[in-house]
A = this chain, B = another copy of it.
């Protein structure tokens, strides 16, 4: 995890080693395909180039094995649900066996990895060492814990804190590692601001002590107000989270209005200014280091493609540049993407070799990984199945009327109005028979809409891979239909209504309404940006998971069982103080927060989320401080610093950056080159055609659903570039820094002295 992953970089002598291992041309081709594929997916693994090692490496990268590793990691993490303190208690031997199984899988995976890469690279890589140490510690802890439990002693499962480290350090956790590295690199600057901020809090606290400590003021609970320095520091720290505003101010403000000035100054300086400065520092550093990482990534990608090129190249005549011929290129592409259509492959070739020389040089060859990453939708303009089966009816006047009706924009408006009326009906009481009848009417109308659309548009186009809203609609409506039928059946059969199914029906009904957003272009643009950010946000999900998991494990050890929840209906006396007499009469109990506890991992996660939102922070943490010790505050303040000051700010920074990029850059240059080629070859879909509109629905901002003006003769195959390549974190990041990358292209050049051919006109202008 830690080191700059220097071990992962492709070495310059890689090509020479490759040549020694080249027995057959086939191996050479395989190796090249692996290089290109690695470049395509931004994998930075140095593997042995012997045929066996390459085969093992391909196996290592097989999607099934990778999914398998993630499944076992999730299983390992999910063990927290079943271990003491458990949500669903399982006997100790069960969880131990599962954990051992998981650890064995990780070890096996590591052994596999060790076989693939050279030994000296393996042992120098901190990732691997980290995994080995973690696995060993887990085994030791499990053994010790088991023995102690057998002896009837109490023991702490401290190794559970280490589990998320596996998620970070597996080969696939590249993006997560990068995020952690960015944070670590930003830490020095964050710390400087943090110390300044703490200094400011300490100064204000001292002033508060001097000004207010001697006035015998009381808080609303009757406690002395601002008399203990450490308490003041804590209270004012909480004020930065805004959680105790304006309560903390009220005693002083009630005493004299002038004291409001003190708190106003404090809020302006610490809550607003310093928190904004934290955002600025986190944002700036995050951007800076990420940019550096992406630059290294691009450099590694080019080097790998150069290796692939030199494996496949044919020496030209004297003074001529080496090239790769079309046949080898085709073999290569087929090896990398077996499912690529030949039309698509030829399109890519014609981009690489615009003069149709039959050969491709180093410069255009290097684009290959990027070209393959651009998702091109190959749309075959099928005839509608009904048109093939019953052309007479499908082409009849009435049928054509339906077509033009469905394609008319009024059709969309009518359904928007239906949705709005439906919204009103949903708001009404569903026990009313008229309302439940209306529900059937609406359901019928929605099903009718989908059927009409399926009748008009070609089904395979309608359900194309990226037709988000079509899929969304259909799934929601079909599920609603099924759930409603089951619900009615249950009701009519035994008068019994399943609350769960009814809930699902209700949720689906409300979700149906979301579709109205799609018909407003300005809304769709924002939603599309949010959807694009969605996938990269998964890395943040993992980041949050790791941090939450660690804090939850520690929190459970510290606070398990200290606060109890006895259910709402309990008339037990203990109910009045969450099962802990120390909490009697506290704000924690008064606010009915007993269920916010660390008694199992789910409760812990929800509590940590509440602490992230920060409101009532002092009441929530106050409860746990009361049942343990004042020093428990350290745990909660640490959580606040890590999650609220650092991670949430990275989240905000990421959204800011993504939106700025959306506002600035529209499409990358390479994509434009491909589009130009598609246009040149006259294979593009026409702009005003309805089929295209359907495809566009996800893509363009202003989807003009105008009536189609006479169907023109269209080619039998059309291409459409999908913008979904940014769905991957790496893609979005590379796009983020694309403009700035161009500026720094020169210094990349300098370091790549051996690849002088790279001053690459096709790359920068094409």
Contacts and interface: CB of A to CB of B under 8 A. Distances in A.
Interface string A233-275: 0000000001111110110011101001000100100011100
Given A272-B648, A280-B660, A606 B260 contact: yes
Given A203-B514, A595-B250, A616-B245, A663 B284 contact: yes
B283 A244 contact: no
Given A526-B193, A526-B196, A615-B243, A206 B652 contact: no
A4 interface: no
B192 A656 contact: no
A430 B527 CA distance: 61
A260 to B, nearest CB: 5
Interface in A178-228: 192-193, 195-196, 199, 203, 206-207, 209-211, 220
Contacts of A616: 245-247
Interface in A606-654: 606, 609-610, 613-616, 620, 648, 651-652
A310 to B, nearest CB: 40
A170 B724 CA distance: 52
Given A246-B613, A507-B211, A196 B593 contact: no
Nearest to A660: B284
B613 A279 contact: no
Contact of A247 (B207, B284, B591): B591
Contact of A615 (B210, B245, B276, B526): B245
A276 B656 contact: yes
Nearest to A517: B199
Interface in A581-614: 591-593, 595-596, 602-603, 606, 609-610, 613-614
Contact of A276 (B193, B220, B652): B652
A522 interface: yes
B279 A615 contact: no
A610 B206 CA distance: 23
Given A506-B210, A565-B254, A523 B245 contact: no
Given A522-B192, A648-B272, A651-B276, A206 B513 contact: yes
Contacts of A246: 593, 596, 610, 613, 615-616, 620
Nearest to A663: B284
Give the size range of A's interface with the partner: 35 or more
Nearest to A514: B203
Interface string A21-40: 00000000000000000000
A510 to B, nearest CB: 5
Contacts of A513: 203, 206
B615 A254 contact: no
A284 B509 contact: no
A510 B280 contact: no
How many identical chains are in the complex? Answer: 2
B254 A210 contact: no
B652 A613 contact: no
A530 interface: yes
Nearest to A657: B280
A503 interface: yes
A195 B524 CA distance: 12
Given A220-B592, A246-B593, A257-B606, A523 B192 contact: yes
Contacts of A338: none
A740 B99 CA distance: 57
A495 interface: no
A116 B745 CA distance: 56
A207 B508 CA distance: 9
B652 A427 contact: no
A281 interface: yes
A56 interface: no
A407 B760 CA distance: 57
A706 B99 CA distance: 60
A423 interface: yes
Nearest to A243: B615
A761 interface: no
Contacts of A245: 610, 613, 615-616
Contacts of A494: none
Contacts of A509: 210
A319 interface: no
A250 B588 CA distance: 12
A229 interface: yes
A433 interface: no
A464 interface: no
A568 interface: yes
Contact of A277 (B193, B254, B257, B659): B659
A242 B206 contact: no
A203 B510 contact: yes
Contacts of A207: 506-507, 510
A281 B220 contact: no
A15 interface: no
Contact of A426 (B210, B423, B613): B210
A377 interface: no
A507 B204 CA distance: 10
A506 B358 CA distance: 86
Contacts of A705: none
Interface string A643-686: 00000100110011001100100000000000000000000000
Nearest to A253: B595
Contacts of A507: 207, 210-211
Nearest to A219: B592
A15 to B, nearest CB: 39
Contact of A614 (B203, B242, B663): B242
B206 A427 contact: yes
Contacts of A242: 613-615
Contacts of A615: 242-246, 615
Nearest to A507: B207
Contacts of A260: 606
A336 to B, nearest CB: 36
A342 to B, nearest CB: 42
A195 to B, nearest CB: 8
User: What 7 pairs between A and B have smallest CB-CB spacing?
Assistant: A280-B659, A210-B506, A276-B655, A245-B615, A246-B610, A242-B615, A207-B510
24 contacts: A196-B526, A196-B527, A207-B506, A210-B426, A210-B510, A211-B506, A229-B427, A242-B613, A242-B615, A243-B615, A244-B615, A245-B616, A246-B620, A247-B616, A249-B610, A250-B593, A254-B567, A254-B595, A273-B530, A273-B655, A277-B530, A280-B655, A280-B656, A280-B659
